[in-house]
Amino acid sequence: MEKEEDYAGQGIAGSTGMANRRNRKMKANRGPRRKRMKRPARLQAARTWVADYTGKDLLHGYMRWFGVDFDCAVKEFSLLGIAVDPARVESRRKQSIHSRRRKSSRPKEPEEMFPAGYGIWWDENFAFIAGRTSGGAAYGVTWEQVDESGNLKELPPSAGDLEWESDGDEPPGPEEKGGEPRHPGGPPAEWPEEEASF
C-alpha cells in the first residue's frame, strides 16, 4: 500500500500516468494548431489575426500563416468581409489554367513513349526477341532480316536444310560411316554395359 501511494503522487502507477504517456506520444509533432484548423475555427482565429497583421500583403500572409491555398483564402476573405482585388483573383486563375495546360503538354514518361511489348518482344536491335541468354543478352530475328511488311527476307538455315557435299541426296547415316545407330546423347558404343548403367 505504501509503495502505491508513493508512486501515485509521481504519476508512475495508476491509470493517469499511462494515459499521460500515451497522449504525449499521440500529440507529438503534429504541426502548429493554426495549420490544422478547420474553416470555422480558422475564421474565428482570423478575426484577431487580421487586426494584428502588420505585413504588406494580407492575402499572402493569411495563406502562409494558416497553411491554405489561394482559392481557400479568397473564399474565407469573402466570408470575413475583407475585399480582395478582382484583377488579382482573375490573373491567378489564368495562371492556374496555364500551369494545368503546361503539365498536360509536358513530355511523356519513358514507359508512355514506347508501345506495348517494347523490350520484351522487340526492341531497337531485334524485330522479334526469341529469348535471352543466361547473361541477359537478347537473341532472335534482327531488323536487317525483316522486310518493310514485317516478313522475313530469307529464312535462317536449320539443321535439316543444310546441304551436304556428297554424291547422294541424303546425308550419310551412321551405318555408312561404319558405326551403329544410337540414340543421341546415349553412351558411346565402346563403353561396356556395366559402366554405362548409372
- pLDDT, one tens digit per residue, over 53-108 is 999 999 999 999 999 999 999 999 999 999 999 999 999 988 888 777 777 666 66
The phi-psi region of residue 159 (left if phi > 0; otherwise alpha if psi is between -120 and 50; otherwise beta) is alpha
Q: With 90 as the cut, is the pLDDT of residue 144 above it?
A: no
Q: What is the 3-state secondary structure (H, E, C) of 32-47?
A: CHHHCCCHHHHHHHHH
Predicted confidence at residue 132, as pLDDT, reads: 87
Give the model confidence (pLDDT) of 11-25 as tens digits.
Answer: 555 556 666 666 666
Give the model confidence (pLDDT) of 161-189 as tens digits.
Answer: 555 555 555 555 555 545 555 545 555 55
Tally of CB atoms within 10 A around 74: 21
Give residue 41's pLDDT band: very low, low, confident or very high (50, 70, 90): very high
pTM of the predicted protein model = 0.41
> In Å, what is the CA distance from 156 to each residue of 59, 105, 140, 152, 162?
74, 45, 11, 9, 10
Containing 139, the helix (H) or strand (E) segment is: strand 138-142
